[in-house]
Structure 1
Amino acid sequence: MSNIVSTTETFVRDLFKEKLSGTFTYHNLTHTLRVLKGTNEIIENSKINAKDAVILQLSALLHDTGYIESRENHEEISVRIAKEFLESQDVDKETISGVKECILATKMNHEPANLLEETIRDADSSHFGKKYFQEVSEFLRKEYSLQGVQEYSAQDWRDATIKLMVKKHQFYTPYAIKEWQPQKESNLAKLLKDKKKDKKKIKKEKLKAELKAKYKDASPERGIQTFYRTALRNHIKLSDIADTKANILLSVNAIIISLVLSNLLSKLDTNPYLVTPSAIFVLSSTITMILAVIATRPNVTRGKFTDEDVKNKDVNLTFFGNFHKMELSKFQWAIDELLKDRDYVYSSLTKDLYFLGKVLDRKYRILRWTYTIFVIGIIVSILSFAISFKASGQSVEEVTKTIVNP
C-alpha cells in the first residue's frame, strides 16, 4: 500500500503543476505536503494501524485537489477526483470510502466523528501550532486578495484570525494538543499583543490629531499668519496687474506713434489741415507713455540700516530696499534679532503691508490718469481729424487716399 501513497503524491504534483492557478498562494502543493507531514507526525505518535495510516496519507494528498476546478464546494470535487484516481489504481472500496470521509471532514464546520477525521483536521490546520504560522497566514490573505474573495487590511486580517483561533479552531488528537497547542497559544498571544499595541497607537494618534486640530482652532497665531499671507499675496498680485496694464499702454502707444510718424509726418507740408489733429494724437500718446513709465518706475532706496535701527525696530527687513547694500554678516545678525522678537516680526510684516499699499495707491492713481488721458486723447484726436477733414473740403475717399498712400 505504500506504493499507492508515492504514486498519489506524484499524481498530485503533476495535477497542481498543470492545472492549479498561480493565484493559489496558500492552497497549493506546499500546503498539501505540509498537511501530509503533519499527518505522518500524528500517525507516528498515535495508535493508528497501517491501513488507516494509508487512508490518512491519501486524504492529506488529495484533500485540496478540487481547487483546480473551483473554490466553491472544492471538498466534493476533491472526493470525485480522488475516487476516479484511486479506482484507476485498483484501490479497494473500503480505502476509497475512508478517503472520501476524511476529505469531507476537512470542511470548516464539520465536527469530526472518529480518530481518522480528527487526525486529518488537526493536520490540515497544523500551521496554527507552528512557528511559521504568521507567514502561512499571510499567504492565505494574499490568496483571498488575488482571487477577489475579499480584501483584508492587516488589522482586519489579524482580528479575523484571532476570532477563528479563539472561537472556531481546536486541536482534537492527543499529540496535537500536547505538541502544537502550546505554540498555537504563543501565536495567539502575539496576535493579541500586536492588537493591543495597535489600539494604543491608534488612540495616541487620534488624541494627537484632536489636540492638533483643537490647537489650530483655538490659537490666534494661525489666523494672524493667514491674514498676513493673504494680504501680502493680494498686494503683490495687484502690483503685477498694475505693471501689466502700464506695459499694455506703453506698447499700444508706441505702435500708434510709430504709425503716425511714418504715415502722416511726410504729408503735413502738403496737407496742413492734418497738423493740429496729428499733434493732438501724438501729444496724448506721448503723455500716456510718460505716465505709464512713471507708474512702473522703481523707487531707489538707500539700502542700509544701522544697529540702532534694528534695536529700535525702525527698519523693515522684509523689504530688500532696506538692506541690499549691507554685508551678509550684518544682515544675518539683524534677521536673528528680528526672529527673537515675535512683535518685531509682526511689526515688520505690518510695515511691509502698509508700504506696499502706499506703492499700489500711487501706481493705480497714476494709471487712472494714464487711461483717462489716453481715452480723452483718442476722442479729441478723432474729433479733430473729423473737423479738419470737413474744413479742408475733401471727400472721404480723397482723405483716405492721402493718409494711406505714401
Structure 2
Amino acid sequence: MSDILSKTEEYVTELLTNELDKNFLYHNLRHTQRVVKSTKELLDNFDLKAKEREAIHLAAWLHDTGYTKGIAEHEKNSCAIAKEFLTERNYDTEGVQLVCSLIMATMRTHSPKNLLEEIIRDADSSHLGQSSYVQTSEMLREELSLLGVAEFNQKQWRKANIKMFQTEHRFYTDYARENWQSGKDSNLKKLVKARKKQQKTFRKEALKVKLKNNSPERGIQTMYRVTMRNHLKLSDIADTKANILLSVNAIIISLLLTNLIPKLDNPSNDYLIYPTGIFVLFSVASMIMSVLATRPNITSGEFNKEDVKNKKVNLLFFGNFHKMKLPDYEWAMQELIKDQSYLYSNLTKDLYFLGVVLNTKYKLLRWTYTIFMIGMILSVIAFFVALKFYGPERALIELPT
C-alpha cells in the first residue's frame, strides 16, 4: 500500500469514527470498508495503470466522507474534503481531479462514462449481491427514519427495493455481472417471495375478516351467547336476593327465639303475644318463599332414541340426560351436531325454559319481598299498639285497689 493510501485510510477512519452522526447506520465506516474491499476485488481482475488504481482506491475511501457535513449534496462535500486532504499532502492536481470525478460518479443519477467509473459504481453497490443484503438494507431503512429523511414500513420498503433491483440498478463491469449478479438475483427472488407471502397472508386475513363480519352464523352464535349470559346473570341475581332475605329472616327468628319468646311465659307480657306472632309468621313466610325461589327442579333425566329422532328432547339441559348412559348420550349429541336446525332448536329451548324458570323465580322473589315488607310494617304497628294500649303501665292502672 502506497503512503497516500495508508494516510487516507487513517484519515477516513478517524473522520467517520469521530465526526459522523451516530444515526448513520448504513453510510458509515463499515460501508466504506466494504466498498474498498469490493474495489480491490474488482481491480484484481482489470489491467489498469498504477495511477488509475490508486485514484479508484482513494475515491473508495473518500466517497462518503461528505456525510459528516450532512445528507444534502454529500458527493460534492466528499469531493471538497478529498480535494483539501489530497492537496495538503501535495497530491498532483490531475490525480485530485480524477478522484473527484470518481466520487461524483457514485451519484445514482450518474451514468458511468468509462471503466474507472464503472468499477467504483459496481463496488459501491456490491452489497446488492451479498448474502448479508437483507440486514444491510434494514440498516439503511432505519437510518432514513432516524435522520428524518423518509419513513417506510416493511411492505413499502420491500416494494421500493424490488423496483430498484428490477429497473434502477445494474452492474456495469463484466466481473461484477459474472460474480455478483447471481447473488443479486437470489436476493431479488427472496424479496419477491416475501412479497407474495405477505400478499397471500393479507388476502387470507382479509377473507377471514370478511367472512367473520358477513357470516350470519357468527351473528346467531353471538345472539345465543349474549342472551344465555344475561339469563344466567339474572338467575344469579335472583338467587343472591333470595339468600339475603333467607339470612335476614333466619337472624330475626333466632333473635326472637332467644330473647323475646321466652319472656312470653310471664303473664305481664301477654300483650306481646300477638305482635310477636305476627312478626314470626311473616318471617317464616318470607323464609319459605325464599326457599321456593332458590329450590332447584329436577326432571326425569331420561330420554329414548325416538325422542331424539323426533327432536322432542333438549339435549343441552342436564335435567334431561343426567340418568342416561354415556354411550347413549354421545350418540344423541352426534345426532344433534349433524342437524343444524335441531341444534338451534335445542339452544332456543334452553333459552326459553331458562326464561320460564327466571319468571317463576322473580315472581316468587317479588312476593317474598312484599310479604317481608308487609310483615315488618304490621309487626312494628302491632308492637306500638300493644305497648301503647296494653303495656305494663295500662295493666297496673286496671288492677283493683
CA displacement at 1:158 relative to structure 2: 2.5
* Equivalent in the alignment of 1:362: 360
* Equivalent in the alignment of 1:239: 235
Quick one: distance in 2 between partners of 1:339 and 1:204? 31
SS at match of 2:249: helix
Deviations 1:146-202 (A, max 9, x none): 555433233312221233345544555x54685478548836863785488358637
CA displacement at 1:288 relative to structure 2: 0.5
Q: Which runs of 5+ in 1 are unaligned?
A: 396-406
Between the aligned residues of both structures, percent identity stands at 51
1:299 matches 2:308: no
* Equivalent in the alignment of 2:399: none
SS at match of 1:264: helix
CA displacement at 1:308 relative to structure 2: 4.1
- Asked if 2 retains the 8 angstrom alpha-carbon contact of 1:128 and 1:187, the reply is no
Quick one: distance in 1 between partners of 2:355 and 2:135? 67
Aligned residues: 391
Taking a change above 3 Å as real, the CA distance of residues 200 and 243 of structure 1, as seen in their structure-2 partners, is: closer
Taking a change above 3 Å as real, the CA distance of residues 134 and 231 of structure 1, as seen in their structure-2 partners, is: closer
Quick one: distance in 2 between partners of 1:206 and 1:358? 42
Higher mean C-alpha deviation, range 196-205 or range 242-251: 196-205
Deviations 1:15-47 (A, max 9, x none): 445555665442233322332233334444556
* Equivalent in the alignment of 1:404: none
Match of 2:253 among 249, 252, 257: 257
Quick one: distance in 1 between partners of 2:222 and 2:213? 17
1:61 matches 2:47: no
* Equivalent in the alignment of 1:208: 207
Residue identity matched to 1:190: K
Residue identity matched to 2:253: I
Q: Which runs of 5+ in 2 are unaligned?
A: 394-401
* Equivalent in the alignment of 1:197: 196
Quick one: distance in 1 between partners of 2:297 and 2:54? 101
Quick one: distance in 2 between partners of 1:273 and 1:288? 24
Quick one: distance in 2 between partners of 1:110 and 1:168? 12
SS at match of 2:66: helix
* Matching of residues 69-108 of structure 1 within 5 Å: 70-87=70-87, 89-108=89-108
Residue identity matched to 1:277: P
Quick one: distance in 2 between partners of 1:225 and 1:129? 54
Residue identity matched to 1:4: I
Taking a change above 3 Å as real, the CA distance of residues 101 and 145 of structure 1, as seen in their structure-2 partners, is: same
Residue identity matched to 1:377: G
Quick one: distance in 2 between partners of 1:170 and 1:342? 62
CA displacement at 1:369 relative to structure 2: 1.2
Taking a change above 3 Å as real, the CA distance of residues 332 and 202 of structure 1, as seen in their structure-2 partners, is: closer
Quick one: distance in 1 between partners of 2:228 and 2:198? 45
- Asked if 2 retains the 8 angstrom alpha-carbon contact of 1:62 and 1:78, the reply is yes
Match of 1:275 among 273, 276, 290: 273
Deviations 1:107-134 (A, max 9, x none): 3334556654444233222334556655
Higher mean C-alpha deviation, range 263-272 or range 60-69: 263-272
- Asked if 1 retains the 8 angstrom alpha-carbon contact of 2:245 and 2:287, the reply is yes
Taking a change above 3 Å as real, the CA distance of residues 312 and 170 of structure 1, as seen in their structure-2 partners, is: closer
Quick one: distance in 1 between partners of 2:72 and 2:136? 21
* Equivalent in the alignment of 2:313: 315
CA displacement at 1:277 relative to structure 2: 1.9
Quick one: distance in 1 between partners of 2:239 and 2:198? 58
1:140 matches 2:140: yes
Q: Normalising by structure 2, report the TM-score.
A: 0.80
Quick one: distance in 1 between partners of 2:201 and 2:311? 47
CA displacement at 1:57 relative to structure 2: 0.5
* Equivalent in the alignment of 1:36: 36
* Equivalent in the alignment of 1:125: 125
Taking a change above 3 Å as real, the CA distance of residues 368 and 111 of structure 1, as seen in their structure-2 partners, is: same
Quick one: distance in 1 between partners of 2:32 and 2:226? 67
Higher mean C-alpha deviation, range 193-202 or range 95-104: 193-202
Q: Normalising by structure 1, report the TM-score.
A: 0.79
Higher mean C-alpha deviation, range 314-323 or range 1-10: 1-10
- Asked if 1 retains the 8 angstrom alpha-carbon contact of 2:316 and 2:346, the reply is yes
- Asked if 2 retains the 8 angstrom alpha-carbon contact of 1:66 and 1:76, the reply is yes
Match of 1:248 among 225, 232, 244: 244
* Equivalent in the alignment of 1:388: 386
* Equivalent in the alignment of 1:286: 284
Quick one: distance in 1 between partners of 2:158 and 2:100? 33
CA displacement at 1:360 relative to structure 2: 1.7
Quick one: distance in 2 between partners of 1:359 and 1:206? 43
CA displacement at 1:233 relative to structure 2: 2.6
